[in-house]
A and B are shown apart, each in its own frame.
Chain A
Amino acid sequence: MFDENIIPKFEHINIEIGLKFLNNNKKLYLKILNSFLDRYKDVDVESLTGDELKDVIHSIKGLSATLGMEKLNRLSMSDLTKEVISELSENLSLVLDELKDKLGSI
């Protein structure tokens, strides 16, 4: 049964930061986390190039800061070398796997 008042504990997401930026609105925070999962679950960052890559990284930069995805945010603000993109893709997968696991269980 979905409980909009319970935020699961995450390893890769700092929920204190996310709640702070969403005015401590748990229902809104969960809604946006679900939207983030829906938006990026099928995105393969390492396969993107040019403007498409720039656009996805730009979006992730803003959203990760808002939602408390600290490592993802640090990586999205770095110079986009092949190594950084690879690490960002790996961290995005960890975040998405955790969201799938935890949001599916509440």
Chain B
Amino acid sequence: MNNMILNKRENIFSGKKILLTEDKEINQLIVLGLLSGSGFDIDIANNGEEAVDKCREFNYSLILMDIEMPIMDGYDATKIIREKNKEIPIIALTSNGTIEDINRTKSVGMNEHLLKPIDLELLYSTFSKYINVA
């Protein structure tokens, strides 16, 4: 990981609001810590149902979606969000990485499948692929 490269990205996503859907507080802390210099305004949903509700309320630039969560998992949440919104980028962020897992995230309408532990370079390049910055 090259801190110098990441430091050049300080606040490049300023003004962009994204949704982190993650049920484990410790994993929320990791993502918030890693993205602390990104400029993102980050909302948190603690499960898929909360993600669906928040997407009805706010217009996010992107959603990071865990898969295994209580109440509603990431697959079902994505299916419901996609009924109303075909455009929003939804990125799976999970420790499940089999071919079956990847195929399933794509089949429900997620755009990318990223693995934990988080590769920060890959995460930033994925943001850049889906979010326009001035």
Report which A residues bind B (CB closer than 8 A).
Answer: 20-25, 28, 31-32, 35-36, 39, 55, 58-59, 61-63, 65-66
Instruction: State whether A22 touches B34 (Cβ < 8 A).
Output: yes
Instruction: State whether B3 touches A24 (Cβ < 8 A).
Output: yes
A-contact bits for B19-58, CB 8 A (1 contact / 0 none): 0000011110110011000000000000000000000000
Give the size of the chain B interface in residues (CB under 8 angstroms): 17
Instruction: State whether A28 touches B26 (Cβ < 8 A).
Output: no
Report which B residues bind A (CB closer than 8 A).
Answer: 1, 3, 6, 24-27, 29-30, 33-34, 68, 95, 116-118, 120
Name the residue on A nearest B69 (C-beta).
A55
Considering the chains assembled together, what is the distance between the CA atoms of A21 and B115 in angstroms?
Answer: 12
Name the residue on B nearest A17 (C-beta).
B117
In whole Å, how far is A97's beta carbon from the nearest beta carbon of chain B? Answer: 19
Instruction: State whether B116 touches A65 (Cβ < 8 A).
Output: yes
In whole Å, how far is A81's beta carbon from the nearest beta carbon of chain B? Answer: 20
In whole Å, how far is A36's beta carbon from the nearest beta carbon of chain B? Answer: 6
Name the residue on B nearest A24 (C-beta).
B3
Instruction: State whether B25 touches A35 (Cβ < 8 A).
Output: yes
